[in-house]
Amino acid sequence: MAKKSMIAREVKRRRLAELHDKQRLQLKQQMIDEDSSYDERWQAMVDLQKLPRDSSKSRQRNRCALTGRPRGYFRRFGLSRCALREVVMRGEAPGVTKASW
C-alpha cells in the first residue's frame, strides 16, 4: 500500500490538471500561432509559466486504484499487476482468464 500522502498528491495533481486544462491548451495554441505578434506570444509563455506546475498532465503518475502502487500499472484496468492478479483469480474481472498454451 502506498503512502496516503502520495495518493493524495496524485489526486491533487489530477484535479489541478482538469481545472487548468483549457487555459493551458489555449496559451499553448497562442504561443504556436504564427499570426500573433512576438509580444503576445511572449506574454502567453509568461502566463503559462505562472500556472501551477502540478497542473501539467506530464506531472501525473498512474497509480493502482486499490493499492496506490505506481509501478506495473495496467491502463485497461486501472490496477497494478499485483492487484490485477488477485482480482482475476477471484473472477471479478469478466472475460479475463489466465493464459495457458
Q: For residues 71 and 63, what is the distance between their CA atoms, to the nearest angstrom?
A: 7
Q: For residues 63 and 61, what is the distance between their CA atoms, to the nearest angstrom?
A: 6
Q: For residues 59 and 38, what is the distance between their CA atoms, to the nearest angstrom?
A: 29
Give the pLDDT score at 2: 83
Q: What is the per-residue pLDDT across 19-33, written as a single tens digit (0 to 9) for each?
A: 999 999 999 999 999
How is residue 18 written as a grid cell? 482538469
pTM: 0.80
Give the pLDDT score at 11: 94
Average pLDDT, the chain: 94
In the chain, the domains with their CATH numbers are 1-61 (1.10.287.1480), 62-95 (4.10.830.10)
How is residue 61 written as a grid cell? 503518475
Q: For residues 58 and 66, what is the distance between their CA atoms, to the nearest angstrom?
A: 22
Phi, psi of 80, deg, nearest 5: -80, 170
